[in-house]
């Protein structure tokens, strides 16, 4: 499945248990406020569980392939390699994911992320048009 619109992605995010994703994205927003792609990767990394069978790497691959056309190569790479990593951004994502499992704070609501998703999708669309 390839996601082609923010609306499709939002529908999928609403179908997932999204508290963990919200906390992960919120933690990344705190530590890297200007890095919208990293925040979005934290938000969408868990959608693979709805997209196909398998666990771990399979779920990450399903999620990465689904968001690639909409959110671009960097988000695709971050989601695909979610797990053991040496790259600084991947390490930040993994750390926020782990902290997000246990963090006890109000991370807001999913709808708060629609604008950020639209921004990243629009940036990716412009980059794709240039290539």
Over residues 9-33, mean pLDDT: 94
User: Residue 1: inside a domain, yes or no?
Assistant: no
40-96 pLDDT, tens digit each: 999 999 999 898 888 778 999 999 999 999 999 999 999 998 776 568 999 999 999
Domain boundaries, position 90: 6-130
9 pLDDT more than 70:
yes
| Residue 47 domain flag | yes
**Is there a domain that residue 79 lies in?**
yes
CA atoms within 13 A on the CB side of 68: 14
Q: DSSP label at 84? A: S
Q: Residue 100 and residue 22: Cα distance in Å, rounded?
A: 8
Residue 91 lies in a domain: yes
As a whole-number percent, the residues of the chain with pLDDT over 90 amount to 72
38 occurs within a structural domain: yes
Does a structural domain hold residue 98?
yes
What number is the average pLDDT over the span 102-111? 88
Amino acid 129: pLDDT: 57
Residue pLDDT, tens place only, 114-123: 999 999 999 9
The predicted pLDDT at position 131 comes to 44
Rounded distance between C-alpha atoms, residue 87 and residue 110, angstroms: 28
What total of structural domains would you count in the chain?
1
């Amino acid at each position: 499945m390839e996601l082609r619109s923010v609306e499709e992605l939002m529908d999928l995010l609403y179908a997932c248990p999204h508290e963990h994703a919200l906390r992960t994205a919120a933690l990344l927003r705190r530590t890297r406020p200007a890095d919208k792609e990293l925040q979005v990767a934290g938000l969408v990394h868990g959608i693979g569980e709805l997209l196909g069978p398998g666990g771990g790497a399979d779920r990450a691959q399903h999620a990465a392939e689904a968001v690639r056309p909409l959110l671009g190569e960097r988000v695709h790479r971050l989601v695909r390699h979610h797990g053991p990593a040496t790259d600084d951004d991947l390490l930040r994502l993994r750390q926020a994911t782990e902290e997000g499992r246990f963090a006890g704070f109000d991370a807001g609501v999913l709808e708060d992320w629609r604008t950020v998703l639209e921004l990243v999708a629009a940036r990716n669309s412009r980059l794709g048009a240039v290539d």
